[in-house]
Structure 1
């Protein structure tokens, strides 16, 4: 067990790290944090479930506690996540499978991940049933439109002349465009 009395035998960097932990507020099992628990849908790469750090840091800065919901199509697991979270953030990523739009793929469609589509559509359906607030960012917003039978373009550049650019070549931590919310 790590305790302050045996820190003197640890390298300085490790000792400093553990002392920093000792100085932080304690959290006990079963204790509910006052911060809302925000489920964050995972992206997927060759290594498995992943997420850009900007998502988790933004949730933390906004006062939430992010929890990554791994890519799974296990309905019981998705239901359990939906019962635990106070909000759901659907992250960006690949294109959606056009079959969920009732369409065939067009030649300019980008990469799709059918397993991720299924996982997130099931998660959204369960979150809606439980009145969990949902925010979709980029692909996440498209997924919400799809979940509620909304329409969208598979490839806005190929299907809509003069479409405004969507993938600016600036760091993802900087604002790319303005958003106007109407109620």
Structure 2
């Protein structure tokens, strides 16, 4: 009888770009994503940006799940909108790669965890739209860049109310919790295949879950910056996500 341990699941994390004025641009992502995936039993695997469909497919094939991370604004052309004057930097290649990856993962029922830009990209990939700039389009709302203003990614900026029947509320053991906030865009028109399970006091969508087969969770906050310091309950969310990846 074999006692060999089952291989740890591989969690694919698409890269952002880090250009320089003269040096060769870099692809990568924040170490906090990598550390939490390792800590809860997964193997993080960065997926570099590429125009080669065969290379992207090979990256996808080795992954048991996808984690869509934070980063630059999603290009509004993907949801049929003109650029807002306060639209931030975009990365067309990253958008194209991530949309292709998430659509394939959803079709294959591979687990997907989407964070900040990730939840926005997820919504756009499924046909939804975004608020391009909260301060100018929702001037009476909360300051959703408060953690950025504090220069503290773990700063708890505002509460989020969770749907009682949601997976996220059950996993966190809470109907309401405080979260960090580092974004100026948010979901506007919700895509088919998603349901809202969390909102900020001003109504901004803060969490969504999938309604189809497979595990899909998107959060607007940055739990990879909370699990060690501000709110250890998020470690259980990551652990459950990696456990689902191991079964996929």
With normalisation by structure 1, the TM-score equals: 0.75
User: 1:144 — aligned with what?
Assistant: 122
Q: Which protein has the bigger helix share?
A: 1
User: 1:45 — aligned with what?
Assistant: 18
User: 1:79 — aligned with what?
Assistant: 57
Q: Which runs of 5+ in 1 are unaligned?
A: 1-30
Task: Give the conservation status (yes or no) of the 8 Å contact 1:88–1:133.
Answer: yes
RMSD: 2.0
Separation in structure 2 between the aligned mates of residue 36 and residue 64 of structure 1, nearest angstrom: 5
User: 2:132 — aligned with what?
Assistant: 154
User: 1:3 — aligned with what?
Assistant: none
Deviation at 1:67, TM superposition (A): 0.5
- Aligned pair count? 153
Separation in structure 1 between the aligned mates of residue 27 and residue 162 of structure 2, nearest angstrom: 31
Where do 4+ consecutive residues of structure 1 move more than 3 Å?
173-182
Q: Which protein has the bigger strand share?
A: 2
User: 2:95 — aligned with what?
Assistant: 117
Q: Which runs of 5+ in 2 are unaligned?
A: 20-24, 167-248
Separation in structure 2 between the aligned mates of residue 32 and residue 83 of structure 1, nearest angstrom: 21
Separation in structure 2 between the aligned mates of residue 123 and residue 137 of structure 1, nearest angstrom: 15
Question: CA separation of 1:179/1:81 partners in 2, compared to 1, >3 Å: closer, same or farther?
Answer: farther
Question: CA separation of 1:127/1:44 partners in 2, compared to 1, >3 Å: closer, same or farther?
Answer: same
Larger radius of gyration: 1
User: 1:13 — aligned with what?
Assistant: none
Report the secondary structure of 1:111's partner residue. Answer: coil
Separation in structure 2 between the aligned mates of residue 69 and residue 171 of structure 1, nearest angstrom: 27
Question: Deviations along 1:128-170, whole A, 9 cap, x unmatched?
Answer: 2221111111101100010011122011111112222222124
User: 1:171 — aligned with what?
Assistant: 152
Separation in structure 2 between the aligned mates of residue 76 and residue 174 of structure 1, nearest angstrom: 41
Question: Deviations along 1:87-132, whole A, 9 cap, x unmatched?
Answer: 1001111101110010000111111111111111111122222211
Question: CA separation of 1:121/1:135 partners in 2, compared to 1, >3 Å: closer, same or farther?
Answer: same
Task: Give the conservation status (yes or no) of the 8 Å contact 1:82–1:130.
Answer: no
Separation in structure 2 between the aligned mates of residue 32 and residue 85 of structure 1, nearest angstrom: 18
Deviation at 1:73, TM superposition (A): 2.9
User: 1:17 — aligned with what?
Assistant: none
Question: Deviations along 1:17-61, whole A, 9 cap, x unmatched?
Answer: xxxxxxxxxxxxxx9853211001111111321111101001111
